[in-house]
Every structure is written in structure tokens, then in C-alpha cells.
Amino acid sequence: MLVNINSSWQAYLQAEFDKPYFANLVTFVRNEYKNGVVYPPGSKIFNAFNSCPFENVKVVLIGQDPYHGEGQAHGLCFSVNEGVQFPPSLQNIFKEIKAEYNKSIPESGNLERWAKQGVLLLNATLTVRANLAGSHQNHGWETFTDAVIKILSDNKEHLVFLLWGSYAQQKGKVIDTSKHLVLKSAHPSPLSVYRGFFGNNHFTQTNEYLRQNHLPEIEW
């Protein structure tokens, strides 16, 4: 199976691409793009990987579904294209960073600046039908992203995994906590942000751990 993905990931993920479930997933996704509006644009499906080569990964942030509104999703979890209004969860993420670092909220919700510093912004499901949240769940993407998390856990050391909400925390069960830092809290959604996301200090804790392991900190 030929997948348009950064070459640094290819060797680690080729075994997944060659499995029958992935062939079925590709067929499903192609049909969805052919027969309707699907986000993100096809060229951005693997943007999380292409924006953050395997050897650069220091932090893994796990989301669930791409945004399903027009012009929002571009393949990085929680991130939106330039000029797009911040969705509520992203707004709350920036509020927490402001509280931790006393930084003003940025003008752009495009988080490529994080990806370039080694933050893998990984959604559990990499595609979605327009205006239909969860429409591409249970077609194989979750199997693939579970494998990605396990491969990172097995092949790297001193990663920080940010698991916000019960869904992400379930995805994190394959992580080896003896060699990585796993930070858990409520999700930044308005429904749960006051149940432990605000005040979690995950951004400063991440940088403290990176500093302790002689790795460059993230400029949030």
C-alpha cells in the first residue's frame, strides 16, 4: 500500500499499511471523498506526520475527530487553518497556556508552529464527513492510530503524552509509562474544561520533563 507520508515514518508504519484492515480503510476513505465532502482535504490526511518527522517527536497530543466544519480541519488535532475562528476547545487550550505562562492568546489557531517543534498532533480518526461528527469512526483509523502510539512508545524514550478526556486516555493504554511521561486531565471542551483541564499545568509540566531529559522545550 503506497501512502503519501513523510519518509521518516514509512519504515515504522509500512507493516500497518500492508495489513488487510488498512486496504479496507483506504477503499472506504476513497469512496467517501468521491461521493461527498470530507475533511481535511485529501492532501492533508497525514499532515500530522508530514509536519513532524518521526525522529523529531517529543510530545504526542491525542485528539478524537477532525473538525467537520468548512475550512477548519487541516490534519492536526485541535488546530485550524489561518484566519479561522477558534473552536471552543482550542480557545480553552490557549486560555490555559495564558494562565501558565502569562502569554497573550495568539492571533492564529494554526498549530503547525507546535508540530515543527516536535509535537505530534494526532487525531484518533484522520477523516470525517462534512457536518457529521464521528462519521468515519470504526472503519480502521483507530486501529492505525493505536499502532502509531504503540510504535512511538516502543521505539522512543522520554516522550510526553497529553491525554485529555476519557477517549484519549483509553488510547493511551498501550504507552510504556516506565520510559515516558503521561499527563491526563479532563478535555478542554466547554462541557468538561472546569472539571480539571483548567489548572492542569500540562504545558509547564511538559517543558519541565523535557528540560530534565536535556531536550529543547516547546514554545507554546
48 within 8 A of 121, measured Cβ to Cβ: yes
73 within 8 A of 39, measured Cβ to Cβ: yes
Question: ∠57-40-196 over CA atoms, to 5°?
Answer: 60
Cα gap 83→67, rounded to integer Å: 15
- Catalytically annotated residue among 65, 146, 154, 176: 65
DSSP H/E element including 108: none
Comparing CA positions, the residue from 219, 216, 172, 203 lying closest to residue 56 is: 216
51 within 8 A of 112, measured Cβ to Cβ: yes
Cα gap 93→90, rounded to integer Å: 5
What is the chain's alpha carbon radius of gyration, rounded to the nearest angstrom? 17
Residue type, 185: S
Q: Tell me, yes or no, if 65 is annotated catalytic.
A: yes
Alpha helices in the chain (DSSP H): 7-17, 20-35, 47-50, 88-101, 112-115, 141-155, 166-171, 202-212
Paired with 182 in beta bridges are 161
DSSP H/E element including 105: none
- For the annotated catalytic residues, the residue numbers are 65
